Structure 1
Amino acid sequence: MQDTRLGLIGYGEVGGIFCAGLKSQVASAQAWDLKLTDPVAAQPLNQRAAQDGITLCASVADLCAASNLVMSAVTASNTVAVARAAADHLLPGTVFLDLNSASPGAKREAASLIEAAGGHYVEAGVMTSVPPYGIRVPMLLGGPHAQALAVRLTAWGMDATAVSPELGIASAIKMCRSVMIKGLEALVIESYTTARAYGVEDYVLPTLQETFPSIDWAEQGRYFYSRVVQHGRRRAEEMREVANTVREAGFEPWMAAATAEKQDWVAGLAAQDLFAGVDQAEGWQAYADRLIDQAK
């Protein structure tokens, strides 16, 4: 049995998948999430933890005391705050793997906090949605301790590649990719919904198919709508970090900022149950119709 004691800060979708997937590879697996302080919000987390055999900690301090490998999987805007909170309680030599989609500047700030506390910080750029890959999701690691951790994670069945000993490189790769991927999601939603409002979708999509024949544009549209409806708030937070990444490079992030606004807008409507009961089998049109009806 490995002597690794794994601690996940953030027991949401990603944290839950990583805990369950790595439990058999480590000596212990525990998690903490801010939602555990709310009895109602904590209920599904407690149920999942009981099902997966994961110990839930009462605080960040308790988690750090029980862990020598800490993974942070929280919302992008909390990247530095979580590193600061963990730094007060880390055991010396603890490896801190930051899975969050934050800018290179935010990752460097988080690293300075962890390293000053005697920990070993490694940044990760998670390169696609964790489901359905699970722990096999491709991720790029960066920082002075990245190579050693990549070897360790790969032995556990993960797809981890160290790309640079310099902090910020792995995050820059991830963020630049998100300009395209998350931006394409926003563009598809705007294009398809507008086309359907005008009744011209049967003309527009074939032209896309002709130009990019390797993409199933109808299916891709359904997937994009469904992911933004489900995770738009988290995607919007990531895109604000992408905008910070562009600013840190010296450019104005017009596209990234607009993508964040579009993602947040859809997420806000989803929170109002605009898409409740949508059958994904009906395709992207079912989502577009809800948006069109809402705009009338």
Structure 2
Amino acid sequence: MTAMSTNPRHWTVGLVGYGEVGRILAEDLRRQDVRVTAYDLKLGNNLAGGLRDHASQHGVALAASHADLAAQADFIVSAVTASQAVSVAQACAPAVKAGGWFLDFNSASPGAKQRAAALIDGNGGRYVEGAVMTSIPPYRIKVPLLLGGAGAAELAPLLVALGFNAKVASQELGVASAVKMCRSVMIKGLEAMVIESFTTARAYGVEDAVLASLKETYPGIDWEKQGAYFFQRVIEHGRRRSEEVREVAETVREIGLTPWSAEGTAERQAWVADLAGEGLFGPKGSEAFARSPDWRTEADRILTHVKPEHVKPGHGKPKN
């Protein structure tokens, strides 16, 4: 089939990035017998075994390079780390099929999306930006997805036919990403603030009082449950999330505002990711951390690492 096929189930879907997002999309597409090929830079290192096993199990073909994937695919989904969004478009552009679709799934700034679009469209492809509006695992392929760009209205029903929950935000490129980035100032900022606030409260032994006060002010939020969720999301995905927040900061900077909050969020997310990489929360280098459903356990691990001189984890009062 060609890129101009009117039936998306006859497409070959190319996934650039075979991490958590790529594997979820692959599984859901293969359940519909859609042909899927994938490429990931990790296929060339010691993490390749797990990726190859997953691909074999689900009937996903593996490409040898970005160009190899682009030459095969009628529809490309770029799902990599935010910092690689433009470089992936650059690597795929020379080989993209004439009229082939390129969906940029990455959490990148409007400016980055516009640069990526120029590369794909300039080589005969059809670029559409995608803004994923919440965490993917609970929703999988049906995660709320905003589309933007000149081809968004044409691509949207084709994506829906493949099982995506896609709707058009704007024909103007950058609008969908702006919605995503502005939301992330709040969501990822809240994650960083909860880790900083709760860990500090734990050190002073005042966490129960802090939680009670938060519940009184925002009674609609289960702060125990939300705190545990935020800790684990950042522990497991802090590296990727910190890169996304740097793109958030760039989005703020593009309008002339200094992104003090976003920059601080990126630093906190990256710091937690570094601790995870050192094995603080579980086996070093493992994606399956020995996670605790109680955020206090993770806060105590952090406090053991930072070793404040004037307080002890959970012991209440600073020493005089």
TM-score range, shorter chain: over 0.9
SS of residue matched to 1:213 = coil
Task: Give the alignment partner of residue 197 of structure 1, picking from 192, 203, 208.
Answer: 203
Contact 1:5 1:26 in 2 (8 A): no
The CA deviation string for residues 146-183 of structure 1, in whole angstroms up to 9 with x for no partner, is 11111111122211011100000000000000000000
Aligned residue type for 1:267: A
In the alignment, the residues of structure 1 paired with residue 149 and residue 31 of structure 2 have an alpha-carbon distance, to the nearest angstrom, of 27
- Structure number with higher helix proportion: 1
5+ residue gaps, structure 1, are none
Displacement of 1:64 in angstroms is 1.2
Q: Say whether 1:64 aligns with 2:70.
A: yes
- Cα separation, 2, equivalents of 1:28 and 1:156: 12
Aligned residues: 294
**C-alpha separation between the residues in 2 aligned to 1:147 and 1:26?**
25
Contact kept? 1:278, 1:287, Cα under 8 Å: no
Deviations 1:49-75 (A, max 9, x none): 111111111111221121110010000
* CA deviation after TM superposition for structure 1 residue 129, in Å: 1.1
SS state of the match for residue 11, structure 1? coil
Report the Cα distance in structure 1 between the residues aligned to 2:190 and 2:157, rounded to whole angstroms. Answer: 34
Instruction: Name the SS for the 1:93 alignment partner.
Output: coil
Match of 2:156 in 1: 150
Q: Does residue 5 of structure 1 match 2:16?
A: no
For residues 75-90 of structure 1, the aligned pairs below 5 Å read 75-90=81-96
* 2:302 maps to amino acid: L
Pairing 1:196-275 to 2, within 5 Å after superposition: 196-275=202-281
**Residues 247-296 of structure 1, C-alpha deviations (whole Å, 9 max, x = no match):** 01110000000000000000000100011164423x10011000111111
Q: How does 1:279-294 map to 2 (within 5 A)?
A: 279-281=291-293, 283-294=294-305
Displacement of 1:42 in angstroms is 0.6
Q: Which deviates the most, 117-126 or 16-25? A: 16-25
CA distance in 1, matches of 2:151, 2:291: 46
Match of 1:103 among 109, 115, 128: 109
Identity over aligned pairs, percent: 56
Question: Partner letter of residue 152 of structure 2?
Answer: A
Q: Could you say what secondary structure the match of 1:150 adopts?
A: helix
Counterpart code for 2:88? V
Instruction: Give the deviation of 1:27 after TM superposition.
Output: 4.4
Q: CA deviation at 1:76?
A: 0.3
After TM superposition, give the deviation of residue 20 of structure 1 in Å: 1.3
User: Residue 4 of structure 1 contacts residue 26 of structure 1 at CA under 8 Å; is this kept in 2?
Assistant: no
1:34 and 2:41 are equivalent in the alignment? yes
Q: TM-score normalised to the size of structure 2? A: 0.90
- SS of structure 2 residue aligned to 1:121: strand
How much has 1:37 moved relative to structure 2?
1.4
Match of 2:24 among 17, 23, 28: 17
Partners of 2:130 and 2:176 within 8 A in 1: yes
Measured on the aligned residues, the alpha-carbon RMSD in Å equals 1.1
**Stretch deviating more after TM superposition (60-69 or 218-227):** 60-69
- Code of the residue aligned with 1:286 in structure 2: it is T
1:43 and 1:66 map into 2 onto residues whose CA distance is: 23
Structure 1 residue ranges (4+ consecutive) displaced by more than 3 angstroms after TM superposition:
24-27
Report Cα offsets for 1:72-102 as digits up to 9, x if no partner. Answer: 0000000000000000111111100000000
Greater Rg by CA: 2
**CA displacement, residues 208-239 of structure 1 (integer Å, 9 cap, x when unaligned):** 01111111001100000000000000000000
Taking structure 1 as the reference length, the TM-score comes to 0.97
Confirm whether residue 50 of structure 1 aligns to residue 56 of structure 2.
Answer: yes
Deviates more, 1:114-123 or 1:144-153: 144-153
